[in-house]
Structure formats: C-alpha cells, structure tokens
Amino acid sequence: MQFIIMAYDGENMLEKRMEVRPRHLENMSKVEGKVICAGGLLDDAGKMKGSALVMEFDSREGLDRYLASEPYIREGVWTKVKVTPMNIVILNGEKVGK
C-alpha cells in the first residue's frame, strides 16, 4: 500500500531542520525499499518548509511505526503531518499500477 506524506515544519525551524537532517536521513535508510521518493517542500524564496514523501508499507500500521521513529517528528521539526493512501499508476514514465 502506498502513502503520500505531507509534513510541514513549525515556525522558524530551518536551522533545527538542518541540525536534525542527518538523523532523518539515517532513519529513512533503515526502511530500505519503503521510500519511493522524498524531498523538501520549498517556500516562495526557495527555503525548505516541510517534506513530501511517497512510501510503501504493508499497512497503515507499518507506516505509523515508521513515523513514530521519525526524528523530524520526535524532535519537533514537523508540526503538521498529513497521510493519504494513494495508488501509484505511473512511475518514472512507466505504467506500474491500475
């Protein structure tokens, strides 16, 4: 099951985000094969204001376990997280789903 995660940083979190980023990336490497794509959301000035991730887990519970370990959540960088199940149909220009 695929999920899109839209996570938004709290106010004035850019410095804290950059401090926590190595732990965030290390944690993501622990769920090898679960991350389809991930990147920072940018404001109009090009500064990071959050993250968008597309991940695949067997269940929502599996995703919730991952999110419970996420340093950006545990250390207060992300203050709003929205999770939506999705169905990937096209990946890298190729039809992979229906």
State the pTM of this model: 0.90
Residue 91 pLDDT class (50, 70, 90 cuts): confident
Q: In which residue are the tokens 């099951």 written?
A: 1
CATH number, domain of 22, equals 3.30.70.1060
Distance CA(5)–CA(54), nearest Å, equals 6
The pLDDT-based confidence of 2 (bands split at 50, 70, 90) is very high
Band (92; pLDDT cuts 50, 70, 90): confident
Q: Is the pLDDT of residue 84 over 90?
A: yes
Instruction: State the SS3 of 49-81.
Output: EEEEEEEECCCHHHHHHHHHHCHHHHCCCEEEE
CB 73 within 8 A of CB 67: yes
Q: What is the pLDDT of residue 32?
A: 85
Q: How many domains does the chain have?
A: 1
- Which tens digits make up the pLDDT trace of 52-78? 999 999 999 999 999 999 999 999 999
Average pLDDT of the chain, as a whole number = 95
The whole-angstrom separation of Cα 21 and Cα 36 is 19
User: What percent of the chain shows pLDDT beyond 70?
Assistant: 100
User: Residue 26: which domain range?
Assistant: 2-95
